[in-house]
């Protein structure tokens, strides 16, 4: 086993055992190989003590407007229609490819920082989707960009 997390409060997302207190999670070859409340038989090359910490699966962002994080906080306190048609859509229409790429990079960095491991993008323009795919290359090993439409 390559890595063993021990003494963690493990949130399994399994109905029969949703929480394991003092749990162990073993990683081998980049994949979860062991989950339990007793230490595994196999020794680990590296051990991390997670006492007082939670261990949970990566989060999934199933509706991402990733590059639009650039407009976070812009034009608050409007009705939805006014906010979209008078504020957001006019600004979004003026974003060039560099701005979309910068927003996508920032959005992916924020997702990685907060535990998001899978993303379903919701870009409105083909150009924006292409730039987001380009930005994703930098995060290829940590983020999975999924095709999808919700």
Give the pLDDT confidence of 104-120 residue by residue, as tens digits: 889 888 888 888 877 77
For the whole prediction, is pTM greater than 0.85? Answer: no
Q: How far apart are alpha carbons 35 and 39 in whole angstroms?
A: 9
Contact (Cβ atoms closer than 8 angstroms) between residue 12 and residue 35: yes
Q: Name the more confident of 57 and 19.
A: 19
Helix (H, G, I), strand (E, B) or coil at 131: helix
The distance between the two most distant Cα atoms of the chain, rounded to a whole number of Å, is 62
CA distance 79 to 4: 50
* Residue-wise pLDDT tens digits, 86-106: 999 999 889 888 888 888 889
């Amino acid at each position: 086993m390559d890595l063993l997390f021990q003494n963690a409060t493990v949130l399994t997302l399994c109905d029969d055992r949703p929480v394991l207190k003092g749990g162990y999670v073993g990683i081998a070859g980049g994949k979860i190989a062991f989950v339990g409340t007793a230490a595994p038989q196999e020794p680990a090359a590296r051990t991390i003590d997670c006492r007082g910490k939670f261990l949970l699966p990566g989060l999934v962002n199933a509706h991402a407007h990733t590059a639009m994080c650039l407009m976070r906080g812009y034009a608050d306190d409007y009705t939805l229609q006014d906010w979209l048609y008078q504020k957001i859509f006019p600004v979004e229409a003026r974003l060039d490819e560099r701005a979309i790429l910068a927003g996508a990079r920032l959005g992916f960095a924020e997702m990685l920082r907060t535990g998001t491991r899978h993303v379903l993008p919701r870009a409105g323009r083909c150009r924006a989707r292409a730039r987001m795919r380009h930005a994703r290359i930098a995060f290829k090993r940590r983020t999975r960009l999924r095709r999808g439409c919700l």
